[in-house]
Amino acid sequence: MMQATDLEFRKRWWFFGGICGVSYSFLFLDHVPAGARLADGLAAATHCSETAALHVVFGAAAAVMVVAALVRTWGSAYLGRLVVHDEAVHGEDLRADGPYRHVRNPLYFGNVLMSVAMSQIAPVIGCAVMIVGITVFCYRLIGREEATLEAEQGERYRAFMRAVPRLWPSIRARIPASGGAPDWINGLSAEAFFWSFALGLIGFAVSLNVLWVYGGLMFSPLLSWLAGLALPKRAL
């Protein structure tokens, strides 16, 4: 499986941001977001107003974004903020509780869901670039992480790989719970970025004012920083 380089993994958040930035840059060429085109098709098919169709389409996008934030928060509650945001690959421990019983990489699954939701603000070509680009990059990161885990944990991790899907979750838990307890405050702190995006999309779906989206994007680093400050040191 293709693996990310050391630079890609260490600077993965910059790469994710770059993919999103390139996707939104296509708005200079095509000013109509993909979600607006979907709304036009919905309005024509159902004979509802264009405004109602916009609320439905971007409401669905906001719902997907909330699911993405929930999935990532669930996964991060078992890892902790420092592991989630660390530049190093952690292969010293195997998480086999919570979402990890359904999918080996719930955080990256959340990223793919995020790309589906946030890409609706980009034009059609930008939408495709974001979804494909983020999905491929997630697979590259997974390849690097899983190679490290397999090298450090051997057959234990190979058994986990055989039982649990890599990126697309199973509805049924594939392995028994190992007794780990989630730290929800830690999980929420780790995923402040995603919750900021979700709030921006929710505000846009309700108001159709794009300033909500810009606000969600611009304030996400500040919200993440504040969440890190608010988290007790012992919880890191």
pLDDT digits 0-9 by tens, 194-206: 999 999 999 999 9
Q: Strand, helix or coil at 173?
A: coil
Is the Cα dihedral 96, 99, 104, 110 positive or negative? negative
Predicted confidence band of residue 84 (pLDDT cuts 50, 70, 90)? confident
pLDDT at 89 over 90: no
Q: Are 191 and 152 in contact (CB under 8 A)?
A: no
Tokens representing 12 are: 């993965």
Give tens-digit pLDDT for 118-138: 999 999 999 999 999 999 999
Give residue 54's pLDDT: 97
Q: Which two tokens stand for residue 97?
A: 């509780």
Residues 23/131, Cβ–Cβ less than 8 Å: no
Determine the pLDDT at residue 90.
62
Least confident of 44-53, 68-77, 226-235: 226-235
The pTM of this model reads 0.91
Query: Please, are residues 218 and 89 in contact by the beta-carbon 8 Å criterion?
Result: no
Report the pLDDT averaged over residues 135-163.
91
> Residue 92 — very low, low, confident or very high, per pLDDT cuts 50/70/90?
low
Site of tokens 């900021």:
196
- For residue 63, CA distances in Å to 39, 60, 82, 230 come to 16, 5, 27, 27
